[in-house]
Amino acid sequence: MEYHSQAYTDISVDCGTTYISLSILACPVAYTGYNESLLILNHIDDDTACKGTLDESVTPPIVRFTFPINSTTACGSIFRTTSTSGTGVFSDFSNIQTVNVSGVVRSHDITTGTVTYNAELKYFYSCAYPLEYFINNTQIDVSSSSIAVKDNNGSFISTLNLELFSDINYVTPLVIPNAGIELRTDIFVQVQATNLTSQYHVLLDRCYASISPHPTNSTFFNLFVSVCSKDQMTSVVENGDSQNARFYFPAFRFIEQQNETISTYYLHCITRLCERSTCDAFKVKPENRFGVVLEAAPTH
């Protein structure tokens, strides 16, 4: 075991989708006169779930801390949400939010008396989670329609899923035949968050269809824009009230594709993760929206 004094590289942070994990090199801790039981996470020393554990199965050994990403059980971590104006596909939104989860592991010096010869150890951690994502590509063919979802890299993006269903109960997945689905067939759309801390709900800011998988380069059709506007044929079932957002619309064709046997287009949804207490504010103040984009693309 190689002993040395504390360095910036002694801590590594894994910002997971449901948990944050800290790994602190044990040797510098021992060198300074402490052990894993004397490392305190955010001043919480009476909760075993917030204690560090020594892992000697790896070389060099490390002290591990693991806690959930939830403002009520995150072992004293500080949650701070910041807002900026949107850019790119989100340029229409003035409130793009990121939540930062941060804290510190400190050493507890049990020395009694007037002086101590042990240095104080401080290990700061921070994880930034954007609350807006761009998910592509899902595809719809109408005469005809079909779906595929591809995840892009992102902090919470792996918890989000866009699915198409054939029934109002959102139970039976929509299976699209090779020849496509019939016009006016109801397409039920659900954007769901799974394994995500319960403090966030799913709010669809805007859902639209485009002929190209790159919506800025093609004809598009708005299904709805939150509370601002909604196509008369689109029905919003649930939005911003839970970790499911649901709506449905009848299959249509783009006139631009009227000479094609199958009309293929892509479905996109700008999707927001909003704290439960603020979702209503975003629904009534569309100029402050921020979100995630979910897209649907053609199969042929």
Contacts of 286 (CB under 8 A, 6+ apart): 205, 225, 226, 227, 228
Distance CA 215, CA 125 (A): 38
Q: What angle do CA 59, 60, 64 make, to 5 degrees?
A: 100
Distance CA 89, CA 240 (A): 21
Give me the CATH number covering residue 228.
2.60.40.4100
Spans of the chain, pLDDT less than 70: 1-8, 88-89, 133-155, 227-228, 284-300
pLDDT, residue 299, reads 34
**If we measure between CA atoms, which residue out of 83, 101, 92, 100 comes closest to residue 278?**
83
pLDDT, residue 134, reads 60
* Same-domain pairing of 44 and 188: no
pLDDT, residue 154, reads 38
pLDDT, residue 116, reads 76
Assess contact for 210 and 220: CB atoms under 8 A.
Answer: yes
* Same-domain pairing of 156 and 233: yes
Name the residue range of residue 249's domain.
134-295
What the block records as the tokens of 164 is 């198409």
Distance CA 51, CA 266 (A): 48
pLDDT, residue 7, reads 64
Number of domains in the chain: 2
* Same-domain pairing of 117 and 150: no
Tell me the pairing of strands 19-25 and 62-68: antiparallel
* Same-domain pairing of 117 and 139: no
pLDDT, residue 288, reads 39
* Same-domain pairing of 244 and 275: yes
**Which of 111, 130, 149 is the endpoint of a domain?**
130
* Same-domain pairing of 84 and 196: no
Residue 125 phi/psi, 5-degree rounding, is -130, 155
pLDDT, residue 147, reads 30
